Amino acid sequence: MNKKLITLLAIIFFFIGGFSAKILCSSNVSVIATDVEVTLNNMTLNNPIKQVLDEKIKQIQEIRVSEEAERKRIEEIRLMEEKELEEKRLAVERRFEEERLEKEKALAELQKDAKIAYLTFDDGPSNIVTPKILDILAEYDIKATFFVLGKMIDVNPNILKRIYDEGHSIGNHSYSHTYSHVYKDLDNFFEELNLADTAMKRVLGDDFETRLLRLPGGSHSPYKEKFAKAAEESGYKIYDWNALNGDAEGIDLDKDILINRFKSTVKGQKELIVLMHDTDTKISTSEALPEIIEYLISKGYVFKKLEQ
């Protein structure tokens, strides 16, 4: 483009130079001026270089108009696609939200009528009975809660580790379970809890923490009220029970006695916290456990572990 323009200008200057010579040699200035005007007009009308330039300029303008139209078309398509994608995304989100609400509603309806059993075991871990109970729970794919003693952890740390590794809940049940020491005063009481907590951390790591607590003998006693209150104020969540198998009511009780005792305490309750024991003297508890579980299943109970 620049080379053609320079050529055009050179030609114009050439003609202008010729016209200047005419003016100097002629006495009729008006005739010369007329000749110049006619010549320039002829140049404008007939100059092939200018025609080429005009045509190129016209083509460039047409190309620019076409490109701008194409750009607008592409932008419109992009905006339309973005709008469609956003509408699809919102539709998917609405569908998921509707499904979530429907599931929550259905779950709430089920839970409203659900019957839940929390199996709990006190005074372990023991070397003989606790593993038998863990085997049975694994067979039924049930998670339970073990309220452990610090002194038993010191004897059977590997059993505590197994309880933890298999996903059961672990609660504090004091260190010694010796009433005269545990309930002597609040200092002794918290010393017992702290010793048990320390025993758990030695096995499960310093990051382990439980706020589940079952007082030795339970909390339903007037003289234990201050201990229960102090524990709750310290952040513990206390769990007693509303059903049991009676394995603490005698020595070497037959499993059928335990099963019948348990059934007598269920009484159609929708939510059960079942008290049992897993010391090595409670072999009949492990023997009765499968039938207790089967009974609860037949009555429509589902099994859960206690949560913090």
From the list 201, 224, 206, 204, the residue with the least C-alpha distance to 214 is: 224
Catalytic residue among 54, 122, 197, 256: 122
From the list 196, 190, 182, the residue with the least C-alpha distance to 153 is: 196
Which residues lie below 8 Å from residue 135, measured CB to CB, with a gap of 6+?
none
Verify whether residue 240 is a known catalytic residue: no
- Strand boundaries in the chain, DSSP class E: 115-122, 145-148, 169-172, 212-213, 237-238, 243-244, 271-277, 301-303
Map residue 41 onto helix, strand or coil.
Answer: helix
CA distance 305 to 308: 10
Map residue 286 onto helix, strand or coil.
Answer: helix
Catalytic residue among 123, 177, 277, 278: 277
CA distance 159 to 161: 5
Listing DSSP states for 238-267 in one string gives E---SEE--TTSSSS--HHHHHHHHHHHHT
Verify whether residue 122 is a known catalytic residue: yes
Contact 216, 148 (CB under 8 A): no
Contact 161, 204 (CB under 8 A): yes
Q: Which residues are the active-site residues?
A: 122, 277
